[in-house]
Every structure is written in C-alpha cells, then in structure tokens.
Structure 1
C-alpha cells in the first residue's frame, strides 16, 4: 500500500510498511449480525484463476498454508533500491522464510523490489529516476536481482517501483527489459501498475503499456486504495473504478498477462481524524463491539458501516473478492492478486 500523496495524478495509497496493523492482524471476534456473514457459495465461481497472495517478510508463514489451496503464487515484500539508485540488497532471512513456506506448499514465489523510502515514508520517485535514468545503475541493480534469484532460489521478481512520472517511462521499459533478459530461463518478471483511469493517465504514471506488455510475464493492476486513511471515507476500490482502469489497460496489453489486484482490508475513519487501516476481521470486530450493522454496498462491491460515534468503515473481503473473480474472468485475465494475506480473509477457491 502507499502513503498519502498530494499530486493530482494518482490516488493516495498507504505504504506496505505501515504500522496500521494494530487493528488488523490482532483482531479476533465473533460476528454480531447476520448481515456480516461471509458468502458460502459465491467465491468459487471461477476456480481456474490463480491468485497471487502477497506476504510481508515478517508475517507468519502459516498464512500461506491457510490459503495455499487457492493461490497460484506468493509475492514477498521485499527489498528497495538505494536513494541514489545505484544498488539494491538481497532479500533477508525473513523473506527467505516466506520463500521456503511457499515452496513447501508447491507454490512459486517472487520477491518485490521497490523504491520505498523510510526517510520520507513513501515511494521515492527521485530514487526511481536515479535508477532508471542511468544505464550503469540499471545494470548494477539488475545484476544484483538476478544474482539473488539464482543464489536464493526465487522463481522471479516483482517490480514494485511506484510514484513514477512521464520522465521515467523509457527507463522503466529499459529496466524491465534488462531484468527479463538477465534472469535464468523460466524465471518470471511481474510489474505492479497503479490504476490509471485513461490512457493519458497511465502515460503520466510512467507506463509505456504496449512496450511493457511485450516484455513482462505479468502485469498486476493495483486496483485498491481509491480511498485511504489520508482521504475522505469511501470504498477501498469500487467496482466501477476498477473496471475503468482495467478496460483501459487491456486495450493496450494482452489480457492474459494481467492480474487484477484486490484489497483484502479496509479503513476506519473516526469523525475527529486519525483514520487507520483495518483487516477484514478487524473491521467486523469493530462493528460487533459497537453493536452496529454493516451493509454490503452492491455498487462498490464492499462492506460499509457507521459506528455509534460516527466512525465510518469500508472494507473489501471474501465477498468482494468473489465479485472481482467474475470481473477478471469476464475480461479474460490471467488471475488476481490480493494484498495481503495478514489482512485479508483466508483465500478460498
């Protein structure tokens, strides 16, 4: 996820390294109302679509086991380039634990390489530009990534370089191409894309979609964080917003390479501010503790509730995922991708 950004070009997101899991991973409770019961027959309408389950390096590996029957692969977050764009470290022991768990369940795993900066608490476009504008830097980083794949046994790399601008377009294509060429045969390259609402917006975000679509194995449309704790309350990723971005994308790239990214979490907006990210179960627990009733909003395909103190909740859960399965199948996509296993309901066929 991503931190708030003030630019008009993109939707704010929350960083994957957020501390906002206090309500997320630890929440345990019993549903208070029948309106919150998860569907039993809708989530398996299109069982042939693989799901990428994202996992942070410090998460419990048992989360992979719990969803392994519905997963096609695991994406492990990951490593980041240096601020000067010259280098990147190898995945650490925590990431390797996730890799081992995925392989034990018979699942391939890619690690994520990004441009997240702890110093600014966001994805750093200047770091990305330092990498993407230099052939030497691209060569150095590609060599490090390829070495990690070969020496550690990864099945590929997911490029999660975000907050890009049009000045990064050619460099991104060059970086993706160089990485794909450097990896051993059979290893995959995936690219995370922000959800543009027009061809012009995708271009502003630094994506030459036709060129990228020819090079990478998979393009993951991050169709979530339409609203975040940095925005007014609203759906995490409404169906219409997702469909618009997807329609534009598949007009430029092969649909069979696209994975539709889906949120497995939500947000809580208290009236006085201080909004937080919540897990699916955490959202239901807040509603139950308050004695409120949640409603499933058919238009957005998400749950929403307003607590007695005025706190507004929106979240995307297993029922939401079922609707996105239909969207992905109708568009002829490769599959789906869920951020993330520590926040979402267990993924089922």
Structure 2
C-alpha cells in the first residue's frame, strides 16, 4: 500500500540543511555587524577639508576663540575694533558719539582719540598718531600703536593667513610639539575638526611641529596653529614642550601725595554757605589732620563751577598744620549733574577748574561730594572720576569721594558704583549718618552704632573696599524729635542740633539720659514747649564707640560732619581713640 508521507530519513536531511543555512546567514550577519562596528569605531576618517575662518577676512583670536569682529590693516597699520578692545583688553573704554571720541583711562593717564584725526591727547597734552581711528563697515577701529603703549598686550599676526592672536600680560601659553616617528619622516599627524577619528582632517601636521594647547576633551587636545587654525589632536601624538608667559607691563608709578599723612587720618568738613568763617574764633582742634571746606559747587550744566575759596582760610589752616582738601559738590541738582557729566569736554572743564583752584590756593586735595544723582548717570560719574584723578594726581593732590551706605534708594545710594570708584580715588568717605533724616516718618538715631557697623561691613564685604582706603564719616550733631497728632495720627518732626544742646537740656531740666541698648547711645526724653521730645545723643560715649569701629576694622581714619557742631572736648575724644 503507498504511504502518504516521505521517508523519515529525508525529513531529517532537509532540517539539517535549513539549520546549516540559518547558521551560515547568522555568521554572515554577525560578520557584517562586527565589520560595521569596527569600521565605525576603529577606522579613521581620511577625508580632508580645507580649514577656514567661517568667512572672517582677518580673524582675531583670544585663548583659541575667534572674536566677532575681524581686524583690519596689517603690521604697523593693524587695527582692532572698539568692541574687541573693550571686551578683551579694557572694559572701561568709552566711546562718546557726540564728539566721536574714544577715551582711555589708566591709573595715571587719560587718553582722548578722535575718529579720523592723527592728533590725540594724553592728560590734555597733544601727541601724534601714525594711523588714525577709522570706521569700517559701520564699526570703529583703533590703531594698535597707542594700545601697545598703554597695555601690555602681545599681538601675533600670521604671515600665512593674516589671523591675529591676542595675548595679555601675565597669561601663560602652553606650547606642545607633535611626536616624532623613528624611520618614518614623512608620517604626519592629523588635526581634526572635532575630537573624534571620524571627524574630517583639517591639517596634516609635520612631526615636531609646535602648536598651542588651549584645553582638552577626553583623549584629545584642543590646539591652535600659529596660522590661527584650530582643531583637535590626540593626546598621544603631542608632547609638552614649554610654557611661555607674556611679560607684565612695568607698573605705573604709585601716587604719592605732596604731603602724605602717617597713621589714621582725622578729617573734618567746614560748611561754607556763602561766607567763610572767622578763623580767629575757631578753637584748637588737637589731632586734626585735614579740613575740607565746602568751597566748589557745580553752577550749571555746562560744567562751570562756583568758587567760595578763601586764601586767608588756607593760610590759617597751614599755620595750624592742617591740610586742605577742598570739597567739590554737584549742588545736589540731578538735572544739572546729568548735563555736566554728559560729555568729555564738560567733564574736563570741571577738572581743569579744580586744577586751577588747587594751584591758586595751594590745596593738598579735592573731596568729591556728588549726591542726589540719577541712576542713569552712574557710569558717567565713574568716568568723570576716572578722567579727573590722573590729572589731580599729577599735581600731587589727594582725591577722595563721599558715598552713602548701601541701600535700595536709587538717588541716595544706588548711583554710586563703589567698586569702580575705589579703583581711582585715594580715599572713600562713608557718610554713616542720617539713618533717620530730617523728614523721616519715624523718630530715631542719626546713626545708631549697629547701623553704622553694618554700613561699614557692607562696603568692606559687598563692595570690596580696602579698609586702608575707607574713612568713616561721623556726625557731630543730633536730631530733636517732637511728636504731634494730625488727623488722628501721630506725626513726628525734627531739627538738627549741636552736640552741646542735649547737655544744656539736662542741666536746665535737671534730668538724666539713659543708655539705649538698641542704638548703643545715650537717649533722652524731655518736654519742649509743652510737647514730648526725644533725642539720641551724640556725646563722648557715641564718639568713642565710632572711633572704636575705625580701629576694629582698621579703617583709614575718620571724617566729622561738621566743624562747629561739636563741643570742644570732642577733639580730645577723637584724638585719644584714634592715635
């Protein structure tokens, strides 16, 4: 009988052939996968691409990174864009559009360069440029000649590509060399576009060729050639060669005043409104070093100054051994201040008048007192001080500026860029008073001791003011606070009084002050014209406590507002604590 099924042996043969075929195909698949993997991981890309600067006609590089603006010119006529110089060389560089002026300030120089002109000014003295400032493609370009004179920079221009490598003083350049292969003098080293053997090759480097290393990523170094081209080379193909440090520029001579003061400085302000005091009636002020009469005031937006100086006062001060640091005020007029700070010519006009006055009266310093200034003028005030100080220093004048404690008030505190200002001036006077001011809605101390200490700490810690340049301003006055009722609400009013007044009240009313722990001052409550009044007293206790803060934080000294408000003994208290 015929079977419907094939013989058993045939079936097994077919199955074996199928298995062998599947195993064969699997082997081929594995081989393909392994081959592809090997190719993807271990076989380098041999594609070469021409390196370029992304369309930049004359690139400028800093620390391996290409700047946005190209350079123009070459060799002696090389010029860098204003933005490149401001971003990488001097962030304080200023361009004044109204007069097409570029202004550079250093510790002892003020340089003014005008577009398309070969004559510039250094400290208001003329000098000649070989190449002028110019505008190209809407951008301002500065010649390298004055830049190299003012800053210690190293500009290396490639003869091959025209690329410019910028280095600054004190920076270290790490030079490496490509490895050498014995018996294979023609073998080259790949510099690739990115840190991968699959990245295209930008350049075939010769053996022992020098490159600059700017960083590393995994097994690769990020390198730059002297031509400016950048790329990546495997670490195993480079060896450290040398480190080159860009030389530092010789430091500018430190400012030395005509008459330096040793030890802690003791300053007092002389308030002159219209008429100078009768010096024959000024009592002795033992320990005092400096008087600062309020003599010079901004008169208008053109930069003209009002002059209240008195030669007789200067003669008297010198006969007593006092230096005169005349005060220059903006008149606390924000609009006038904005106009006067707006241009180099107006700022320099103010400076030249101060220089003339200083020479005329034989002054030893200028104290800048700008208050009630718009926040928008913050940078212009810094620029004014940066431009003024080198010229005042040329005459041996000490430059100081008055600032308030840190606060959120724009026109009282925030317009002071204390960090920038301290870079120029010799001293910063902290006006640590008017914690509670004339029209304050709340009665309180003119300057409680905790508030004063907090104000000192704010400048030292937040603004990084060196203690050796910070002078603590202290009040020689108090405020009498009187309470009243208006529309069912308690109101307060105040008036400033001399130091002697609270002592007289206590004598007349036969009452005693008590020590207020919160303000750390003596405190007095009394009746004045039938109304309750209170006063936080400025006296020996508070004055000695303030000078103790000068010693605690090793500050430069103390400045008192103002002469004439004090009792005679105050000078003894200050001198004993300070000296």
Calculate the TM-score normalised by the size of structure 2. Answer: 0.48
Q: Offset of 1:224 from its aligned partner?
A: 0.5
Q: Offset of 1:51 from its aligned partner?
A: 1.4
Whether the 8 Å contact between 1:269 and 1:276 is mirrored in structure 2 is: yes
Q: How does 1:192-231 map to 2 (within 5 A)?
A: 192-197=402-407, 205-231=414-440
Matching residue within 497, 508, 522 for 1:303: 522
**1:293 aligned to 2:509?**
no
SS at match of 1:277: strand
Q: How does 1:125-144 map to 2 (within 5 A)?
A: 125-144=334-353
Whether the 8 Å contact between 1:91 and 1:148 is mirrored in structure 2 is: no
SS at match of 1:270: strand
Whether the 8 Å contact between 1:270 and 1:311 is mirrored in structure 2 is: yes
- Count of residues in Structure 1 that have an aligned counterpart in Structure 2: 293
Whether the 8 Å contact between 2:404 and 2:413 is mirrored in structure 1 is: no
Q: Offset of 1:140 from its aligned partner?
A: 0.7
Q: 1:344 to 1:62 in 2, by over 3 A?
A: farther
**1:247 aligned to 2:469?**
no
SS at match of 2:532: coil
Q: 1:283 to 1:204 in 2, by over 3 A?
A: closer
Q: 1:204 to 1:246 in 2, by over 3 A?
A: same
What is the CA deviation profile of residues 213-242 of structure 1, one whole-angstrom value per residue up to 9, with x for unaligned ones?
A: 111011000000111331232111111211
My pick for the range that moved more, 219-228 or 249-258, is 249-258
Q: Offset of 1:301 from its aligned partner?
A: 3.3
Whether the 8 Å contact between 1:166 and 1:203 is mirrored in structure 2 is: no
**Aligned counterpart, 2:496:** 277
**Aligned counterpart, 2:396:** 186
Whether the 8 Å contact between 1:129 and 1:168 is mirrored in structure 2 is: yes
**Aligned counterpart, 2:312:** 97
CA distance in 1, matches of 2:319, 2:514: 39
Higher-Rg structure is 2
Q: How does 1:261-272 map to 2 (within 5 A)?
A: 261-272=473-484
Whether the 8 Å contact between 1:229 and 1:275 is mirrored in structure 2 is: yes
Structure having the higher strand fraction is 2
What is the CA deviation profile of residues 135-158 of structure 1, one whole-angstrom value per residue up to 9, with x for unaligned ones?
A: 221011111011000111111111
CA distance in 2, matches of 1:284, 1:259: 28
Q: 1:178 to 1:253 in 2, by over 3 A?
A: same
Q: Which 5+ residue runs of structure 2 have no aligned equivalent?
A: 1-261, 485-491
SS at match of 1:172: helix
My pick for the range that moved more, 322-331 or 203-212, is 203-212
My pick for the range that moved more, 50-59 or 135-144, is 50-59
Greater RCO (Cα-Cα under 8 Å, separation 6 or more):
1
Q: 1:163 to 1:193 in 2, by over 3 A?
A: same
CA distance in 1, matches of 2:444, 2:301: 37
Q: 1:280 to 1:296 in 2, by over 3 A?
A: farther
**Aligned counterpart, 2:288:** 71
**Aligned counterpart, 1:315:** 537
SS at match of 1:235: coil
Q: Offset of 1:207 from its aligned partner?
A: 1.9
**Aligned counterpart, 1:336:** 558
Q: Offset of 1:114 from its aligned partner?
A: 0.8
What is the CA deviation profile of residues 181-236 of structure 1, one whole-angstrom value per residue up to 9, with x for unaligned ones?
A: 222332111100011148x9799622222221111011000000111331232111
CA distance in 1, matches of 2:336, 2:406: 22
Q: 1:164 to 1:50 in 2, by over 3 A?
A: same
Calculate the TM-score normalised by the size of structure 1. Answer: 0.77
CA distance in 2, matches of 1:331, 1:64: 32
Q: Which 5+ residue runs of structure 1 have no aligned equivalent?
A: 1-46, 117-122
SS at match of 2:496: strand
